[in-house]
Structure formats: C-alpha cells, structure tokens
Amino acid sequence: MHTNSIIELNNTAYQKNLSFLRNTFGKKVEISCVVKGNAYGHGVTAMVSMAYHNGITHFSVFDVEEAKVVKAKLEDKATIMVMGLVQDEDMEWVINNNVEFFVFDKGRLTKAAKTAKKLRKKAIIHLEVETGMNRTGFEKNELNTVIGFLKKEKEHVFLKGLCTHYAGAESIANYYRVDKQIKRFEDIYQYLCENELKPEIKHSACSAASIMFPQTRMDMVRIGIIQYGLWPSPEVFVYYLSTKKNKTDPLQRVITWKSKVMSIKKVKIGEFIGYGTSFLAERNMTVATIPIGYSHGYSRSLSNQGRVLINGHRCIVVGSVNMNMMTVDVTHLESVKKDNEVVLIGSQNDISISVASFSDYSNQLNYELLTRISKTIPRKTIE
Ligand SMILES: *Cc1c(COP(=O)(O)O)cnc(C)c1O
C-alpha cells in the first residue's frame, strides 16, 4: 500500500448527513447506501463499516466484485443489492449468499431461475422496468411474458422489488421526461398488482430524485452522492434551499484527502517549471513538490489550475500535473518545510477545498473526480 497520501472519512459529518436524510424521508423509507465506484472513491470497506455502525443495513453495488467486498466486511449482517452486472459464472455465488439483484432481461431471468432450481435456493430479484431512461429494463411488451414466467417459477424466484432509474433528475431540464417516467412506473406497478404479482417493495429514487420528486421515495431510496455530503448538482441544492426558511447547507463533506510536502526549491524569474513551457516564472518563486499525480486520481486537467492547502493558505498548482507528482506555488508562505501537511480535498484552519471546486476548474463532475481517486490510497475513519 502506498503512503504518499491518506483519505480520512469523517464519521461526525456522515452522521449529520444521515440524520438530514432520515428526517427528510421519514421512518418508513429505507435508505440503501450506494457504494458503487469504490464507494464514490471513499473506499468500500471503510465506508460500509462506518455506515453499518450508523444503522445502515442495506447496500447497493454495481457488480458482483463489489458485492463480495461488502460481504467480506459485513457477512450476513446487511442486505446487498447488485444494480448492474451479474456474470453467468457468478450467479451461483449470488444466490447462495442471498445477494439480491436487478433483473432487466430474459437471459438473466431464466439464468436466475435455472441456477436457483439447481441450488434449491430462491433467487431474490428486483425487476427493473423501462420507463424512459433507455439503458436497462424490461419493455412494456415483455411484461406479460415476465409475469407468466415469475408465476410459474415462484418456488425458485422471489420478486422482492420493482424498480427503475431516472434519466437525470438532478437537472430541471429533464423535468418533463422524469415526470413521465414516474407515471409509467406507477402504471407498471398497478399492472403487476392487477395480475396478482405484487412485488414486496418498489423503489426508484437516487439522491436527486429523492429531493426534487418526493413521490419517488416509495419504500426505499438508493442514496449515493448525498450521503457523502455532496449535492448531485447545484440545481438540486438551490431547489432544496428554495423550499426552506433556514438557508443553510445541511450536508457535510465526509472525505478529506491529505498528503505531505516532498521537497522545496527556489525558481528564478524567467525559468519554466515542469515539463514543457506551460508555466513561466514571472518572478523569483518558491515551489513545493507534492507526491500526488494523475496516477492517484488527481486529474491532469488541473495543471496550472488546481489548488491545495498548505499551512492554512491556498496554493495553486504550477506546471502540469505529472504521473506521480505536482508542483505548487508557495512563494507567498512564510515558511514551508518538507513534511508539512498538504490538503487536496478538505479543510485547514478556516479554509477549505471543496469537491465542487474541482468542477469549476476542470469540468469534472463530483462523481467523476471522487471515483478516480486511487483505490491503493489508505482509508481511515475519524470522529
Ligand atoms: C448510482 C445509482 C444510484 C445513486 O445515485 P446518486 O445520484 O449518487 O444518489 C441510484 N440508482 C442507481 C440505479 C444507480 O446506478
């Protein structure tokens, strides 16, 4: 494991976010903690144990590899739901371990039934239906076949949930499309019930939908970005504020990413810094080298733009972000020494570098920046 930097998860911030979510949704709505993409870069293992200790017992992942990481940490203490890929060769493991999974095509449905029969164990499925996202989900004209199949195979396949996913609930521009999806989803649910195939629960909301469209909360919400203390988009934040008298942000960033100054050097006026000629010193400068680069997930697009905190001051990246290193301008700091703390995301004294600020510099989404942070960086939970 490399030691160039460390990621800390703040348990107090996480508790704040969870209590905001619980107060907003009420007791009847279960929160499924979405930990795909290495828990949005936070680290699956550290994240699920923190969530579990705060009362979360439902986790959503993208694929079986991630499901196995959650299982290794929490064993049978939590429900695991795979929203995306289950390879044929993993179906036995999934069913044997009571891992729940989305089913969105006939191939997977028959594979689930066949494997369950062989193992003499029920497959626990969430039927994903197409409502307008056009990614995965059964089409309307397939429903009768699916209903027939599920009734015939009810000894082997348990219809735990009915679900769908919205095509961009974080943006008002998609309001009409999402609204149509909600109606279609309700119609499909009714249709199943009329055909005596009532799923135990129905769920559809991601973070943005859960705030912008309260009717999408249903029995369970699949919450990713918000629990990590970040808004899905500025629009969702503005919308939330517009509905409240008290205009304060209820969310707190859970992640902090820190490193240390590796070395310091003086650069004379007129010299270029780093590869090529992208940065020209227009005065005598002092620069600090940080052992973080794009191989750790610090995007090269932050060259000459990114900011870090050292000794309580903002310092700008000068020159290009390299594979394992970058240089920052520390000319304005009184004294900088090797091993001084460097904050890439987080706070020092009263100032902070937010995750959102990255997108201002580099057009990266919150989501993208976080999931790119290297898995090999150690994760630690703090109070
Ligand atoms: C990623 C994902 C979510 C969670 O999305 P957030 O915007 O992070 O809350 C919910 N449902 C599905 C199907 C997803 O893929």
Domain for residue 361, yes or no?
A: no
- Whether residue 328 lies inside any domain: the answer is yes
pLDDT at 252 over 90: yes
How would DSSP label each residue in 177-218? Answer: HHHHHHHHHHHHHHHHHHTT---SEEEEE-HHHHHH-GGG-T
Full-prediction pTM beyond 0.75? Answer: yes
Instruction: Report the amino acid identity of residue 130.
Output: E
Residues 127, 162 contacting (CB under 8 angstroms)? yes
Number of alpha carbons in the 13 Å side-chain half-sphere of residue 262: 15
Question: Is 110 in the same domain as 227?
Answer: yes
CB 223 near ligand 1, within 6 Å: yes
pLDDT at residue 379 is higher than 70: yes
What is the span of the domain harbouring residue 289?
A: 255-353
- Is the separation of the CB atoms in 279 and 26 below 8 Å? no
Index of the ligand 1 atom closest to the CA of residue 163: 13
262 and 237 in a single domain? The answer is: no
Are 184 and 305 members of one domain? Answer: no
Residue whose CA lies nearest to ligand 1 atom number 1: 224
Same domain, yes or no, for 202 and 288? Answer: no
Whether residue 213 has pLDDT greater than 60? yes
The per-residue pLDDT for range 139-171, each reduced to its tens digit, is: 999 999 999 999 999 999 999 999 999 999 988
345: domain CATH number is: 2.40.37.10
147 lies in the same domain as 265 = no
Give the closest residue (by CA) to ligand 1 atom 10: 206
Do 209 and 90 have their domain in common? yes
Residue nearest to atom 2 of ligand 1 (CA): 206
- Is 169 touching ligand 1 by the criterion CB < 6 Å? no
Residue 114 lies in a domain: yes
C-beta of 137 in contact with ligand 1 (< 6 A): no
| pLDDT at position 371 over 70 | yes
The CATH number of the domain holding residue 204 is 3.20.20.10
According to DSSP, the residues that pair with 5 across neighbouring strands are 259
Number of domains in the chain: 2
Domain-ending residue, one of 242, 277, 312: 242
Amino acid in position 307:
R
271, 218: one domain? no
* Residues 136/128, Cβ–Cβ less than 8 Å: yes
Q: Give the mean model confidence (pLDDT) for residues 315-336.
A: 96
| 327 and 190 in a common domain | no
Residue 3 included in any domain: no
Does residue 211 lie in a domain region? yes
Confidence check: pLDDT of 364 > 70: no
Residue 38 lies in a domain: yes
How far, in Å, from the CA of 207 to the mean position of ligand 1? Answer: 7
pLDDT in tens, 51-70: 999 999 999 999 999 999 99
Same structural domain, 193 and 158 = yes
Is residue 238 domain-shared with residue 259, that is, in the same domain? no
Please identify, among 242, 264, 282, the residue that sits at the C-terminal boundary of a domain: 242
**According to the model, what pLDDT value does residue 3 have?**
79
Q: Are residues 185 and 90 in the same domain?
A: yes
Q: Is the pLDDT of residue 345 over 70?
A: yes
In a domain? residue 370: no
Residues 261 and 290 in one domain: yes
> Does residue 1 carry a pLDDT above 60?
no
147 Cβ inside 6 Å of ligand 1: no
Q: Is the pLDDT of residue 245 over 80?
A: yes
Ligand 1 in reach of 83 Cβ (< 6 A) = yes
Assess if residue 165 is contained within a domain.
Answer: yes
